Structure 1
Amino acid sequence: MLIDLHNHTPLCNHAEGSIEEFVQAALLQKIDVFGFSDHAPMGFDEDYRMSFSQMANYERDVLHVKEKYQDQIKILLAYEVDFLQGYIDERVLQRNVDYFIGSVHYLGSWGFDNPEFIGEYRTQNIDEVWERYFAAITDMAKSGLFDIVGHLDLIKVFNYLPKKDVRMIAKEAIKAIKKANMAIELNAAGFRKPVGEQYPSHPLLELIAEHDIPITFGSDAHTIDHIGFLQDELRVIAKNYGYKKCATYESRDRILVNF
């Protein structure tokens, strides 16, 4: 079974293609379960997400294709929610969805995965940056608000890698994710970025498997061509770490299926 739970829509203002076109592309890729998890609104960096007034239309449009294509593909409704202290909004968390992806895209006001602000890496101690990032991941897991960890090691996006062993930097976050009973996605977007590999890295996947943390899969699609991107490669990687099942969701309940 092919599961792809991390996909966006034009409502985030940096994706292209209609919701229906995304579904048709997923059908061509023979995806069985396809989740829309667009960037949830919040009162920060609003140009990169839908507005609160657009949530109802987003949900209506996803539920429309869910019904229209119900005999061909299972469509899920979700949000990717930025974990940023002071900006977590109950108007999002109260929505009736299948799952929430929790992600960290900001360290304070720094959008570290935005190419506009890449120069900030050269002004900081890279190990400290990584430690701050994984402290935020730890806090996100401890919040108990989310079902899936989005692109666990996104901080590597521009290939600024730590000098310390990443497993030591991430170990407390991994423990918190395990305790929170969250899943971690294998996200293909890293292959399209300067780092040139999946999120999370192989050393982190080794740690994740050791802790028996469930996984799932995501294209992190922002265009039609991204849908199902390197899905076979991701599944081979997961199997190499002993995984045979992955997570899907229904009304926040996790279901493990063979892949």
Structure 2
Amino acid sequence: MNIDLHNHTKRCNHAIGESYEYIESAINCNTDIFGFACHAPMKFDEKYRMQFCEIDDYIKEVKDLREQYRDKIDIKVGFEVDYINKKEYLIEKKVLDSSVDYLIGSVHFLNNWGFDNEEFIGIYKSININDAWIEYLESISNMAQSGLFDIVGHFDLFKIFNNPPSKNLKNNIIKTLESIKDNNMVLEINSAGFRKNIGEMYPSKEILELVFTLDIPITFSSDAHNPNQVGFKRDECKAIAKDIGFKKVASFKDRKIEFYDF
């Protein structure tokens, strides 16, 4: 079973291609379940996400495509929602109550710093990386404890510009994963890291081994912002997960989890 739940549309203003082109790419690489999870609107960093007035059109477009391609592939619709620590009020009820299959909770910001944006890469030179990792992991933990989301997006994204967590943060990572486990969330294996400076998936194999030990469910994502990124490094990610011992992969329908054999 090939599942790919985290992909974008041009509505986020930093992805290209038509939605149907992503689906055609998914079909061509033998994807069984393909999900759009475009950046949800928020009154923050608005140029990199859809507008509130687009929510209904986005959901309708994906559901229309689901019907159009129903004999070839199962299409899901969701949102990737930014979680900014201590600013939960930014997450609008209209997003949380939308008629989607799942919500991905992701941390892209430490306060107002978009740490995965090359535009602000210079900030890394002025901070303590270890302290920033602790703040990032705390944000992920609080996001999980909020109970608002179904999937954790790119768990160790803060390593994106080749700043992986130091070994002394292992206990912090375990505590964060325990928060994910305690709140019944799924953790995605996201291949986008292979396209970035860090050159590996999110999360790393070492962290994924901890995920397995804690019996946290997984799913897979290309995090495609271009149709030609759909399915990127999927086989490699699946092979790593299988080698660790995972046998099931999660998907969602109407915010309810479903499990499939690899």
Is TM-score (shorter-chain normalized) higher than 0.5? Answer: yes
- Aligned match of 2:216 in 213, 216, 222? 213
- Aligned match of 2:251 in 234, 248, 251? 248
The residue matched to 2:249 in structure 1 has which SS?
strand
- For residue 172 of structure 1, report the CA deviation from its aligned partner: 1.5
1:181 corresponds in structure 2 to: 184
- Extract unaligned runs of 5+ from structure 2: none
| 4+ long deviations beyond 4 Å | none
CA contact (8 A) 2:104 2:152 kept: yes
Q: 2:236 matched to 1:233?
A: yes
Q: 2:170 matched to 1:160?
A: no
2:56 corresponds in structure 1 to: 56
Q: Which amino acid aligns with 1:155?
A: F
Q: Which amino acid aligns with 1:90?
A: K
- For residue 159 of structure 1, report the CA deviation from its aligned partner: 0.6
- Extract unaligned runs of 5+ from structure 1: none
- For residue 164 of structure 1, report the CA deviation from its aligned partner: 3.9
Residues 159-210 of structure 1 deviation map (CA, whole Å, 9 limit, x = unaligned): 1233343422312211100000001000000000000000001221111111
CA contact (8 A) 2:59 2:99 kept: no
Mean CA deviation greater in 240-249 or 166-175: 166-175
Q: Distance in 1 between matches of 2:252 and 2:165?
A: 34
Q: Which amino acid aligns with 1:48?
A: Y
CA contact (8 A) 2:156 2:203 kept: yes
Residues 101-116 of structure 1: pairs in structure 2 closer than 5 A:
101-116=104-119
Q: Which amino acid aligns with 1:117?
A: F
The residue matched to 1:102 in structure 2 has which SS?
strand
Residues 64-109 of structure 1 deviation map (CA, whole Å, 9 limit, x = unaligned): 1100000110000100000121311111001011000000000000
User: TM-score w.r.t. structure 1 length?
Assistant: 0.98
CA contact (8 A) 2:154 2:202 kept: yes
CA contact (8 A) 2:104 2:149 kept: yes
Aligned residues: 259
Q: Distance in 2 between matches of 1:57 and 1:199?
A: 30
Q: Which amino acid aligns with 2:133?
A: W
2:193 corresponds in structure 1 to: 190
1:139 corresponds in structure 2 to: 142
CA contact (8 A) 1:4 1:33 kept: yes
Q: Distance in 2 between matches of 1:220 and 1:214?
A: 18
CA contact (8 A) 1:102 1:149 kept: yes
